[in-house]
């Protein structure tokens, strides 16, 4: 499979040069570029899909095709003039990086591989328009990965990514130049990506970057806990994000398995540890400092896809700006709350404005208007 190590282009234009001069402050490693198909569906379709509801676990090509073929018969009617099916650039890391670039004005780039197909073009266009640096995105012959995000009528999502046969950046393709000059590396745990994750962490640490790791899903934690524990206890993870299901799963075999105990465990091995608690906000710890922050704003949940990813955007913005731990959590709560107000893991311009209003009301530091693409 041929690899072209060159800046990704859209319609012949180099979209990395217009983003920023020099290295992005934050880099995201997403080995597989991914396109999300998001739809609100009824329970009968969810009951046909292998695996537990609410999680995220890979499926084969045949299963992906089956789900996509069944969508039209199970899509719920829209009540707010939104598209019934959204197709956008996706993946947890991409969501976080896009949020940092588009909503917070933090220069951000992505490392990964993209197929030279229609899905690959969509991924590059969507991320490029959000001011994400694509110069570290490898273009390969082959297909771009896809994911179906099924959202029930109360906003809970079940995700089934299909990575089979899709192009991916390999561990030996990572270069020191990819990381040089950046401050943060954002990762998401996945068993298929363990080798490239380890290679990226090694280079990142040699180049002085902080490393952030998201625990991905309770299914991933449950089925592949040993490699995850090895990563967490390596001393190389500076910041860890988990939701309450992942946190509980992490300590399932322990005498006390709850979000508070998981936070203590994570904080023992990471400089910053955060456990998100859905409508109950979050808890976080840095050294001896512990904070508990409630969810913010109106409890309007259209789709929970990307809630944790955008929380991470806000929290990382706070760390980059040097904000105290509690304020980092408040900003994360604002950004996480913004994405759940519409379908998909990309915040709409209207919902960015909602977030800025929440930040201003709570006395939080707003992004600089000249850097964010949506601050007015």
DSSP 93-161: HHHHHHHHHHHH---EEEEEEEESSHHHHHHHHHHHHTT-B-TTEEEESSBPEEEEEEE-TTS-EEEEE
How many CA within 13 A on the CB side of residue 99? Answer: 35
Q: Does the pLDDT value for residue 364 go beyond 90?
A: yes
Could you tell me which of 308, 28, 242 has the C-alpha nearest to residue 229?
242
Give the pLDDT band of residue 156 (cuts 50, 70, 90): confident
Provide the 8-state DSSP code for 346. S
- Residue 299 has a pLDDT of 60
**Cα-based distances in Å from 354 to 98, 311, 335:** 17, 15, 9
Instruction: Answer whether 97's CB lies under 8 Å from 109's CB.
Output: yes
Say yes or no to pLDDT of 199 above 70: yes
Measure CA 231 to chain center: 19
Rounded CA gap, 150 and 68, in Å? 10
For the chain, domains (ranges, CATH) are 26-33+91-137+170-362 (3.40.1190.20)
In 192-288, the DSSP E strands lie at: 210-214, 239-243, 272-276, 282-286
- Cα 319 → chain centroid: 17
The region of weakest confidence among 60-74, 194-208, 297-311 is 297-311
Burial 102-113 (b: 16+ CB within 10 A, else e): bbbbbbbbbbbb
Q: What is the pLDDT of residue 309?
A: 97
Task: Report whether pLDDT(276) > 90.
Answer: yes
Is the pLDDT at 374 greater than 70, yes or no? no
Q: What is the pLDDT of residues 94-144, one digit of tens each?
A: 999 999 999 999 999 999 999 999 999 999 999 999 999 999 999 999 999
Q: What percent of the chain has pLDDT over 70?
A: 90
Q: Would you give the distance in Å from CA 295 to the centre of its chain?
A: 19
Give me the chain's average pLDDT, please. Answer: 90
**Residue 8: per-residue pLDDT:** 55
In the block, tokens 């977030």 appear at 355
| Whole-number pLDDT of residue 12 | 45
Q: What is the pLDDT of residue 50?
A: 77
What pLDDT score does 20 carry?
36
How many Å apart are CA 349 and CA 330, to the nearest integer? 20
Cα distances (angstroms) measured from residue 266 to each of 24, 93, 225, 271, 295:
27, 20, 14, 9, 22
Q: How far apart are CA 191 and CA 10, in angstroms?
A: 31
């Amino acid at each position: 499979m041929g690899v072209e190590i060159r800046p990704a282009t859209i319609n012949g234009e180099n979209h990395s040069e217009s983003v920023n001069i020099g290295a992005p402050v934050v880099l995201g490693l997403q080995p597989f570029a991914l396109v999300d198909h998001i739809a609100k569906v009824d329970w009968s379709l969810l009951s046909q899909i292998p695996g537990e509801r609410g999680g995220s676990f890979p499926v084969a090509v045949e299963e992906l095709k089956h789900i996509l073929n069944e969508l039209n018969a199970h899509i719920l009617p829209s009540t707010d003039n939104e598209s019934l099916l959204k197709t956008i650039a996706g993946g947890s890391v991409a969501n976080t990086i896009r949020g940092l670039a588009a909503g917070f004005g933090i220069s951000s780039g992505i490392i990964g591989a993209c197929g030279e197909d229609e899905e690959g073009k969509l991924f590059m266009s969507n991320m490029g328009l959000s001011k994400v640096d694509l110069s570290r995105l490898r273009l390969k012959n082959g297909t771009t990965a896809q994911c179906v995000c099924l959202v029930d009528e109360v906003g809970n999502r079940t995700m089934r990514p299909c990575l089979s046969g899709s192009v991916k950046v390999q561990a030996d393709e990572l270069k020191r130049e990819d990381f040089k000059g950046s401050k943060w590396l954002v990762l998401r745990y996945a068993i298929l990506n363990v080798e490239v994750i380890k290679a990226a962490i090694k280079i990142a640490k040699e180049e002085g970057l902080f490393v952030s790791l998201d625990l991905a899903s309770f299914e991933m934690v449950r089925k592949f806990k040993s490699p995850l524990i090895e990563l967490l206890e390596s001393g190389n993870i500076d910041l860890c994000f988990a939701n309450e299901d992942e946190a509980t799963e992490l300590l399932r075999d322990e005498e006390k398995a709850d979000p508070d105990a998981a936070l203590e465990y994570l904080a023992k091995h990471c400089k910053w540890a955060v456990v998100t608690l859905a409508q109950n906000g979050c808890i976080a710890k840095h050294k001896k400092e512990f904070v508990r922050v409630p969810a913010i704003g109106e409890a309007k949940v259209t789709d929970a896809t990307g809630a944790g990813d955008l929380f991470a955007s806000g929290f990382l913005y706070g760390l980059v700006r040097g904000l105290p731990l509690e304020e980092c959590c408040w900003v994360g709560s604002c950004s996480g709350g913004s994405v759940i107000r519409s379908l998909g893991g990309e915040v709409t311009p209207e919902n960015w404005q909602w977030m800025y209003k929440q930040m201003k009301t709570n006395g939080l530091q707003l992004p600089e208007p000249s850097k964010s693409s949506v601050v007015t």
